[in-house]
Amino acid sequence: MKRQTLAALIAAAFALAACNDDNKQAATQPAGESSTPAVQTASAAPEAPAQSAEADVPVDQLPVIDAVTTHAPEVPPPVNRDHAALVKVKMETVEKTMKMADGVDYTYWTFNGDVPGQMIRVREGDTVEVEFSNNPSSTVPHNVDFHASNGTGGGSAATFTAPGRTSTFRWKALQSGLYIYHCAVAPVGMHVGNGMYGLVLVEPKEGLPKVDKEFYIVQGDFYTKGKYGEPGHQAFDMDKAIREDADYVVFNGHVGAIAGDNALKSKVGDKVRMYVGNGGPNLVSSFHVIGEIFDKVYVEAGKLVNENVQSTLIPAGGAAIIEFKTDIPGSFTIVDHSIFRAFNKGALGQLVVEGEDHPEIMTKKLSDNAYQPAGGAATGAASGASAPAASAPAASAPAAASGASAPAAEGH
């Protein structure tokens, strides 16, 4: 009996062990089964890079397009392409004397004859071929560093070009955004300080939302032997540049380049986009449009978007994309809100908006009465005589760049 009981126990133990083995195999089987789809998924992965197929097209098979470039404040037209291309850009460095301000001349070092250099507009995924010429009249070699490119020096070595020579190289626009380009020949600060900078817009593959008006603006700081407004030809002052003691801070290379007869133009209801760069070489811009709030700011021209912004910082060698809607007519003063730069060094522009008034958004002055203390009679000394100065239109603000004090009403 004992033997039978013992045999039964042993048999039960073997049966239990066999059951446990089966359970273990069953437990491990799903993992084995799930690994098969994982392998299949991995093997199917090569189908995913359909988006990058465009990047695999050899350069010699891309359609060739001559870039449409524009002098500031004009902007090249939207790309409107759904494929990559080989975009050919011609650049020429020219050293030329031009007007800095009324009665003041300066010898600028330029890309394509003005400051800033021409704006370039391409599409993410494009290959850009640059034909870079240095005019025979130049006194020094020049080159270009494209912040929009990925590679050592931004192409500065490939484009290092002596006077009377032409160099060619290519770079691929891998990332969308708005980027500075500038000369990078030593002393770099002197080349940049003489005006050698511009902007490249790399549109995302899906393009940018449509707007009514686009403008191209680049701020720069200049260092001259003479003080602001001192007449005659002014030479570059290296000591002032090293001290970052700018005599001129201007938009688009010249005092009044986007003011007065050169003011930017728009209409009520327009959606406006400004491509704003800062060539430097030293100062950070506090960019502001008096009387407007920026609906969107693409911070440092990247993908981060801030909304409802009054002023935005733009670093030297950086950029921002700014969008807003024009709600009422008038002259809107564009400034670097480091405010002495605006009213005493030249960083003033204008956006003139035409169209129907909207008093529900802002009225004109509703009353102008003599000052009356609480509980007292109006004082004889107080009058409306000084009121016109307080309500002077923003259109007069650029005149203050000569050093005159700005109307109090303009601070915003």
Distance CA 383, CA 237 (A): 49
- Tell whether residue 182 is among the known ligand binding residues: yes
Q: What is the pLDDT of residue 379?
A: 62
> Omega of the bond prior to 73 within 30 degrees of 0, cis?
yes
- Tens-place pLDDT, residues 164-218: 999 999 999 999 999 999 999 999 999 999 999 999 999 999 999 999 999 999 9
CB 100 within 8 A of CB 222: yes
H-run or E-run covering 4: helix 2-44
| 142 in a known ligand binding site | yes
Report the chain's mean pLDDT, rounded to a whole number.
Answer: 86
Q: Is the pLDDT of residue 143 over 90?
A: yes
- pTM for the model stands at 0.81
Cis bond upstream, residue 398 (ω within 30): no
Per DSSP, the residues of 360-392 read TT------------TTSPPPSS--STTHHHHT-
Whether residue 13 has pLDDT greater than 80: no
Two tokens, residue 84: 């990559």
What does the pLDDT look like over 370-400, one tens digit per residue? 999 987 766 655 444 444 544 444 444 454 4
> Which pLDDT score is estimated for 374?
85
For residue 294, the tally of other CB atoms under 10 A from its CB is 22
- Residue with the larger pLDDT of the pair 54 and 333: 333
CA distance 329 to 349: 16
**Fold of domain 59-354:** Immunoglobulin-like (2.60.40)
Region of 296 on the Ramachandran plot (φ > 0 left; ψ -120 to 50 alpha; else beta): beta
- The tens digit of pLDDT for each residue in 273-289 reads 999 999 999 999 999 99
Q: Is 19 annotated as a binding residue?
A: no
Cα separation, 111 vs 194, in Å, equals 11
Q: What residue segments make up the domains of the chain, in order of their start? A: 59-354
In contact, 111 and 145? CB cutoff 8 Å: no
Give the residue among 200, 202, 240 at the shortest CA–CA distance from 222: 240
pLDDT at position 375 is 76
Please give the Cα distance from 412 to 409 (Å, whole number): 8
* C-alpha pair distances (Å), 281 with each of 184, 194, 273, 284: 11, 9, 25, 9
**∠ CA 262-265-269, rounded to 5°:** 165
Structure-token match 């931004």, residue found: 154
Enter the DSSP assignment of 268: T
pLDDT tens-digit series, residues 207-254? 999 999 999 999 999 999 999 999 999 999 999 999 999 999 999 999
For residue 189, what pLDDT is reported?
A: 98
What is the distance between the alpha carbons of residues 297 and 44, in angstroms, rounded to a whole number? 41
pLDDT in tens, 65-100: 999 999 999 999 999 999 999 999 999 999 999 999
Cα distances (Å, whole numbers) of residue 283 to 65, 106, 219, 330: 36, 20, 9, 30
| Burial class of 241 by CB neighbour count within 10 A (0 to 12, 13 to 18, 19+) | buried
192/154 Cα distance (integer angstroms): 15
- Residue whose C-alpha is closest to residue 185's, from 168, 161, 217, 150: 161
Query: Is the confidence at residue 309, as pLDDT, over 90?
Result: yes
| 183 is annotated as contributing to ligand binding | yes
Cα distances (Å, whole numbers) of residue 102 to 126, 196, 400: 42, 22, 13
How high is the pLDDT of residue 44? 39
Of all residues in the chain, the percent with pLDDT exceeding 90 is 76
Distances (CA, A) of 136 to 12, 95, 106, 163, 235: 102, 10, 20, 5, 21
Cβ-contact 178, 321 below 8 angstroms? yes
Any known ligand binding at 337? yes
**What mean pLDDT comes out for the span 119-143?**
98
Lowest mean pLDDT among 15-29, 138-152, 340-354: 15-29
Split at pLDDT 50, 70, 90, the class of 56 is confident
Q: Is there a contact between 127 and 62 (Cβ–Cβ < 8 Å)?
A: yes
Residue 23 has pLDDT above 80, yes or no: no
The Cα-based distances of 340 to 171, 295, 333 in angstroms read 40, 26, 14
Residue 33 has pLDDT above 70, yes or no: no
At residue 79, the pLDDT reads 96
41 against 134, higher pLDDT: 134
Does 196 belong to an annotated binding site?
yes
